[in-house]
Amino acid sequence: MSSRTSGAWGVASTAVQHCLVVMRAGEQQCNVALGSAPQVAHCLDAIRGAAIVQGEPDSGNKYSSVCALLQGNGGGYDVRCSAVLVSPTMLLTAAHCVGDFTYVSCDWTISDKPTLYTTSAVEAHPLANDPSEGLKHDLAFIKLKKGITGTPLAPLPPQQVLDDIRESGGFAPDGALTVVGYGRTQQILTPGAELPNNNRDRRFTPADFNRLTINRIEASLSLQRGAGGSVCSGDSGGAVFYASTGLLAGITIEADNICSKFAKAQRLDTSAARRWLAAQGINLP
């Protein structure tokens, strides 16, 4: 689980504020007392999605541009969130992920001596913590001290291309999207429960297109139908790809509170997102 606080369970006003923003927006309900750090964390863990539940392990390294944000646990590493490599030295992730990680690894599994990278800069979108705007700009970039070579980059989308795909019927087939991340592999059966992410692998699952909003692409996930997979804690910051071309459609930012029904991702093809990406020096199509 990750929030926008600095530290694994630290309480900052932005964390409490963000939890309130999500609830006020009607995204999910979370019955917790917001005065304690663990309870704030439970709330965020339940409402932000954030390995893919029952997905396929990416042992063939097909989605090698999707990486893990890690924190040492004394004898190994815990996955805090996922991220997507868009240049040899830069990754995109969710803004609520950047407060509590130490290393980046793009190995498909981190179970045995993963290759680790450290960061030189981490910066969230300037509106990420704004109570009225944060849900529209849950993006951050991570700059690495040393570039990653030999790993294909995630292809960024041209401007407003998702609208064009929708209008042409390109999202109509089942499984039009692919969701990739390092999140929990077991569904949360009790909303708000404190459950660790003990997954160590990059996983993926097909997803059906649901709808586009001004800032988001939303997917329906097949776990609710008894097949496929879904997203959960640790998948935040991971990728939603347009399956037929491999285009990076969005950055995963939210799941339902039992990790079985939907995923919401921040669009990268909007004018607002592209302005922010260009300001970070990211080359755009």
44-60 tens-digit pLDDT: 443 333 344 456 789 99
Q: Which CATH number fits domain 65-144: 3.40.50.410, 2.40.10.10, 3.40.50.450, 2.60.120.10?
A: 2.40.10.10
Distance separating alpha carbons of residues 49 and 233, to the nearest angstrom: 5
**pLDDT attached to residue 222:** 56
**pLDDT attached to residue 183:** 76
Q: Residues of CATH 2.40.10.10 domain(s) within the chain? A: 65-144, 161-270
**pLDDT attached to residue 186:** 53
Q: Are the C-beta atoms of 226 and 215 separated by less than 8 Å?
A: no
Domain 161-270 has CATH 3.30.70.240: no
* 210: phi then psi, degrees, rounded to nearest 5: -110, -65
| CA geometry: angle 214, 235, 92, nearest 5 deg | 60
- pTM for this entry: 0.76
Distance separating alpha carbons of residues 55 and 245, to the nearest angstrom: 20
Q: Are the C-beta atoms of 179 and 262 separated by less than 8 Å?
A: no
**pLDDT attached to residue 263:** 72
CA dihedral 62, 67, 71, 72 (to 10 degrees): 40
Question: C-alpha 115: how far from its chain's center?
Answer: 21
Consecutive sets of 10 residues in the chain, 285 residues long: mean pLDDT of each?
A: 26 35 34 40 39 70 96 83 96 90 93 91 88 76 95 96 95 87 62 56 87 86 47 79 95 65 82 93 92
Longest C-alpha distance within the chain, in Å? 51
In 10 A of CB 39, how many CB atoms?
Answer: 18
